[in-house]
Amino acid sequence: MHTALRSILIVTKSGHCEAEALGERMRAWLAARGLAARVVENTGDAVSLAVAGQECNLALVLGGDGTILGVARRLLGSGVPLLGVNLGKVGFLAEVAATRWEASLERLLSGGVTVQERLALSFRVERDGATVHSGGAVNDVVINRGILARVINLDLRVGSERLGELRADGLIVSTPTGATGYSVSARGPLVHPQLHVYTVTPICPFLNNLLPLVLPGEARLSVTVRDRTNEVYLTQDGQEGYALQAGDVVHVERAPGGMLFATIEELSYYRKLKAKGFIKDQA
């Protein structure tokens, strides 16, 4: 999908002086070329409110992967694509290097924005038949144990079919975007971001034969907490947590509309994997 630029929202990492200064430089640079832009700090609901009150059709996010993930969750369902400018260390989600932002924005103005839809996840926690918690995730939904080094007991279903019981440190449900995060550390597969699938990967399973699964985007996963003695938590994108109780059922499925990422040029996903060390060339 290709779109022309109307107005840009520039989101800066919270409390990051370098990001704030760069955001203002970008705003002035865009204004000098006749394009409206607004700078907001990534705090609270600032991004959601700014999107609702402005006719923007691109969000430039200045920060590392954590900032990009936080903003991306707030943009789910908004129809506004995101373009990351890397101010962090890994920067796997970012398209633009902070040192080359002017050249990148020049390409944006001359060629417009190519938008790529990626699968995102929505989840809800059911307790005694009622929904007590819900949200979305760009990278992953993780169910894991608390501070005690004990395995937890989970029961898994896909649709109406029971997969079985899992005894493990936890479970990672990952999008293709999140496949290079926590999931790959637990031996989950790398998944091309253009595929509309998600993965289910046990964390340190104990006496269990459940291997990592790749499920179609239309599948609905249900995970029931069977543990009555251990602390169990649900986290989304590794940033927000929620305490689960025995008997809770976590329903995970594809988020409507997915997540929109903007690209400036066709970058090789495989070259990116090599550059970030996920694939090592033995030649």
Residue 185 marked as a ligand binder: yes
Strand order in the sheet with 161-168: 130-137, 121-127, 249-254, 221-225, 152-158, 161-168
175 in a labelled binding site: no
Length of the chain: 283
182 marked among binding-site residues = yes
Closest CA to 30 of 2, 49, 7, 53: 7
How many CB atoms lie under 10 A from the CB of residue 186? 21
Residue 139 assigned ligand-binding role: yes
167 marked as binding residue? yes
Q: What is the DSSP letter of 73?
A: H
Distance CA 176, CA 197 (A): 7
User: Which amino acid appears at position 203 of this protein?
Assistant: I
The answer to whether residue 65 is catalytic is yes
Q: Which helix (H) or strand (E) holds 132?
A: strand 130-137
The answer to the question of whether 77 is labelled as a binding residue is: no
Q: How many CA atoms lie within 13 A of 228 on its CB side?
A: 1
User: Which residues sit opposite 84 in a β-bridge?
Assistant: 61
Beta bridge partners of 11: 40, 61
Q: Which two tokens stand for residue 59?
A: 């969000």
Is 181 annotated among the ligand-binding residues? yes
Give exposure, 95-128, as e/b (b: 16+ Cβ within 10 Å).
bbebeebeebbeebeeeebbbeebbbbbbebbee
| 128 annotated among ligand-binding-site residues | no
CB atoms within 10 A of CB 32: 8
Active-site entry in 45, 65, 227, 248: 65
Binding site membership: which residues?
A: 65-66, 139-140, 150, 167, 169, 180-185, 239
Cite the active site residues. 65
**Which residue numbers belong to the known binding site for NAD(+)?**
65-66, 139-140, 150, 167, 169, 180-185, 239
